[in-house]
């Protein structure tokens, strides 16, 4: 009885084991195939380890999206499909594990890790992320002739040296630089693919910027640790002006124009003119500090500084002018003989009084009020005229340098 039970038990065990083995065999066809292929494979050796040549790694990037440039931190972010391909003779196979299959996509991370891959890194990266939703965004594909395609989706935050001399009418050159971290150029040599090394989506929107052009190049970097092959792509970007014209230039023009209202008020309207001058000056200061916040504290003068500086001078000038006018309006005339003669056009309604003043018989006016009024009238022309002249120089100067070059690139499909 016990014997029969033992035999039955053993038989059951065998059956279960056999079933599992069969299942395993079925499930891991790719694993079996790959383990055969990788039998004598050393993941530490580059494909050309036995020869004197370097392994040529061909790179292509598909630019998924281009994040906005962050001026304050001098960086920008991009989302790319980084595609690297190389030839590994050891991975040649005559037929795949399924009939007529000349390409194998390796999904299993444990197998992926057994295949040699270049140790590419981004020289100017600040932060990087590989996407894992819903699966690792990695493609590793072999074909029968031994070519490997290794593609991954990465979101990168890259540093970019920006120059703000012409801000906000600036153009920036931001690049992506890749290279091998540990393998010198006699082991790995990078090349851009011949056909469209940088692939752009149909509609590439970059906040505030137009992509004018890009330039790819192959480099060799010399460090104390050796010479490393690398690749660089530089994007030529031009800032769109709409945002700053709406948010900065138009408001400041209005503030400056409002400060001129003061010239039409009475020289003795102290509360009105002082509050007008001080309010406009304070508003301008607030606006200026808002602009400063989005920029790094660079030590040179930017285009926006020139503008804000000029607006400050205009508003401050109007306030100073009032101080002088008010002082004049209240100053008692001591010696009318030495009085300055006011031209007719600025005399206005004071012309009669002026005539009286010239007449020695007439009673001299108590104060220099008419001079004050004349000065106000002069400033009504002088201030807007000066500001207009400044604008006529400012805008062409900065816009010409910004638009002196080609139109934004259009993607050809």
Instruction: Give the binding site for ligand NAG (CB under 6 A).
Output: 99-100, 102, 143-145, 147
Q: Minimum Å distance from CB 48 to ligand NAG? A: 17
Q: Other C-beta atoms within 10 Å of 25: how many?
A: 10
Three-state DSSP class for 305? helix
Three-state DSSP class for 147? strand
Task: Calculate the alpha carbon distances from 161 to 70, 93, 221, 387, 397 in Å.
Answer: 11, 47, 19, 34, 24
- Give the Cα separation of 253 and 16 in Å (integer): 86
- Give the Cα separation of 374 and 342 in Å (integer): 7
Q: Minimum Å distance from CB 308 to ligand NAG? A: 56
Q: Given CA atoms 110, 114, 118, 124 in this order, what sign does their dihedral have?
A: positive
161 closest CA partner among 101, 237, 257, 266: 237
Q: Other C-beta atoms within 10 Å of 179: how many?
A: 23
- Give the Cα separation of 217 and 235 in Å (integer): 12
φ, ψ for residue 85, nearest 5 deg? -140, 145
Could you identify the residue written with the tokens 């399924």?
98
- Give the Cα separation of 230 and 177 in Å (integer): 7
Three-state DSSP class for 58? strand
Nearer to ligand NAG, 83 or 380 (CB): 83
- Give the Cα separation of 228 and 122 in Å (integer): 13
Q: Give the ranges where 331-368 is alpha helix by DSSP (H).
A: 344-347, 351-358
Three-state DSSP class for 34? helix
Three-state DSSP class for 270? helix
Nearer to ligand NAG, 105 or 145 (CB): 145
CB 404 within 8 A of CB 206: no
């Amino acid at each position: 009885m016990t014997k029969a039970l033992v035999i039955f038990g053993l038989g059951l065990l065998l059956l279960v084991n056999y079933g599992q083995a069969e299942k395993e065999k079925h499930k891991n066809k790719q694993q079996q195939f790959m383990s055969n292929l990788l039998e004598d494979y050393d993941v530490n050796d580059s494909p050309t380890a036995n020869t004197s040549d370097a392994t040529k790694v061909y790179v292509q990037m598909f630019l998924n999206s281009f994040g906005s440039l962050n001026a304050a931190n001098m960086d920008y972010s991009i989302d790319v499909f980084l595609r690297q391909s190389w030839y590994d003779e050891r991975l040649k196979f005559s037929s795949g594990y399924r009939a007529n299959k000349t390409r194998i996509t390796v999904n299993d991370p444990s197998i992926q890790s057994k295949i040699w891959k270049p140790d590419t890194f981004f020289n100017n990266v600040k932060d990087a992320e590989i996407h894992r939703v819903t699966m690792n965004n990695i493609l590793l594909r072999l074909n029968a002739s031994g070519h490997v395609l290794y593609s991954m989706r990465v979101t990168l935050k890259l540093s970019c040296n920006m120059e703000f001399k012409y801000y906000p009418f600036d153009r920036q050159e931001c690049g992506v630089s890749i290279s091998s971290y540990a393998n010198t150029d006699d082991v790995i040599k990078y090349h851009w693919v011949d056909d469209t090394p940088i692939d752009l989506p149909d509609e590439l929107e970059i906040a505030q910027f137009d992509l004018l052009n890009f330039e790819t190049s192959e480099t060799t970097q010399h460090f104390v640790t050796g010479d490393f092959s690398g690749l660089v792509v530089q994007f030529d970007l031009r800032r769109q002006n709409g945002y700053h014209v709406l948010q900065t230039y138009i408001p400041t023009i209005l503030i400056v124009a409002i400060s001129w209202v003061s010239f039409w008020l009475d020289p003795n309207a102290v509360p009105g003119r002082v509050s007008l001058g001080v309010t406009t000056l304070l508003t301008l200061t607030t606006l200026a500090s808002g602009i400063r916040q989005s920029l790094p504290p660079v030590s040179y003068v930017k285009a926006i500084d020139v503008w804000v500086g000029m607006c400050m001078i205009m508003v401050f000038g109007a306030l100073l002018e009032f101080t002088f006018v008010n002082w004049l309006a209240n100053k008692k005339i001591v010696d009318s003989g030495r009085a300055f003669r006011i031209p007719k056009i600025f005399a206005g309604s004071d012309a009669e009084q002026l005539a009286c003043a010239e007449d020695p018989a007439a009673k001299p006016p108590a104060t220099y009020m008419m001079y004050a009024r004349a000065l106000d009238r002069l400033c009504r022309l002088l201030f807007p005229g000066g500001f207009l002249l400044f604008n006529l120089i400012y805008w062409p100067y900065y816009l010409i340098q910004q638009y002196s070059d080609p139109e934004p690139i259009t993607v050809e499909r």
